[in-house]
């Protein structure tokens, strides 16, 4: 699993921003622990993500497109 800073970098490269909500926040109940927001429009692209969901959204297919050494 990648670190949160790697998630943020990958989101930035895809034109997204990773948002992390605190459990005490009312947004946590509405959007989950993590959400991905489009940088250009500031609209939520994907919400209700846990750590595995963030990995899936940001790194899906990354290994398939990597060139063998």
Q: Does position 69 have pLDDT exceeding 60, yes or no?
A: no
Q: Is residue 67 part of a domain?
A: no
Is 43 a domain residue? yes
- The domain total for the chain is 1
In a domain, 28, yes or no: yes
Q: What's the pLDDT score for residue 49?
A: 93
- Residue 52 falls within a domain, yes or no? yes
Could you tell me the pTM of the whole model?
A: 0.80
- Spatial distance between the Cα atoms of 33 and 24, rounded to a whole number of angstroms: 11
56 part of a folded domain: yes
Closest CA to 62 of 14, 27, 8, 3: 14
- Given a cut of 50, whether residue 67 has pLDDT beyond it is no
Residue-range definition of the domain harbouring residue 31: 4-62
């Amino acid at each position: 699993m990648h670190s949160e800073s790697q998630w943020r970098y990958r989101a930035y490269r895809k034109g997204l921003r990773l948002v992390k909500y605190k459990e005490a926040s009312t947004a946590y109940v509405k959007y989950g622990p993590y959400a991905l927001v489009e940088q250009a429009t500031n609209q939520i692209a994907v919400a209700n993500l846990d750590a595995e969901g963030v990995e899936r959204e940001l790194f899906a297919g990354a290994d398939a497109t990597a060139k063998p050494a």
